[in-house]
């Protein structure tokens, strides 16, 4: 089983996406990660799930390139993250806030994705060479993009 897309709920529990391969992520699981990974419950099953977050007690996620709030369809896209300012998500290798493109890949990079919002800063992944080693984490703050670290 592959695990991807971690969303911490508290210091012991998180939501993760899992499945038999990176191209077949078919479960969102609630897990305890204090001493390894202990599966607590299956929250959602689907075809190709990507996890967003809980916002106003509703699960934000994508399945097969459609974004949902619980079971309500919101729009096309992947890797959503709801904030008080609106919906962040990836679509065709760029990051949107609602209907507007806000982050494009820097020169020499292929794609951006997996936006996450914290303390007024959007953190995201970007890749300049083959996965998994080409991934980097960047931040978007005040319309400026800055490198944070290698990895995803």
pLDDT attached to residue 11: 94
pLDDT attached to residue 125: 95
- How many other C-beta atoms lie within 10 A of the C-beta of residue 91? 18
CA distances to 63, 65, 68, 69 from 72, in Å: 12, 14, 5, 5
pLDDT attached to residue 58: 97
The string of pLDDT tens digits covering residues 100-139 is 999 999 999 999 999 999 999 999 999 998 877 889 999 9
pLDDT attached to residue 151: 87
Which parts of the chain sit beneath pLDDT 70?
Answer: none
């Amino acid at each position: 089983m592959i695990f991807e897309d971690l969303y911490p709920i508290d210091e012991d529990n998180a939501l993760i996406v899992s499945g038999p391969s990176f191209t077949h992520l078919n479960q969102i699981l609630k897990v305890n990660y204090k001493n390894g990974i202990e599966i607590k419950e299956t929250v959602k099953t689907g075809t190709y799930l990507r996890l967003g977050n809980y916002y106003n007690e509703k699960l934000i996620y994508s399945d097969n390139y459609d974004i949902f709030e619980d079971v309500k369809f919101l729009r096309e896209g992947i890797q959503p993250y709801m904030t008080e300012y609106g919906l962040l998500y990836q679509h065709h290798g760029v990051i949107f806030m609602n209907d507007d493109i806000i982050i494009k890949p820097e020169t020499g990079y292929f794609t951006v994705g997996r936006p996450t919002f914290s303390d007024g800063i959007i953190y995201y992944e970007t890749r300049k060479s083959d996965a998994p080693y080409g991934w980097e984490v960047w931040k978007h703050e005040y319309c400026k993009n800055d490198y944070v670290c290698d990895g995803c």
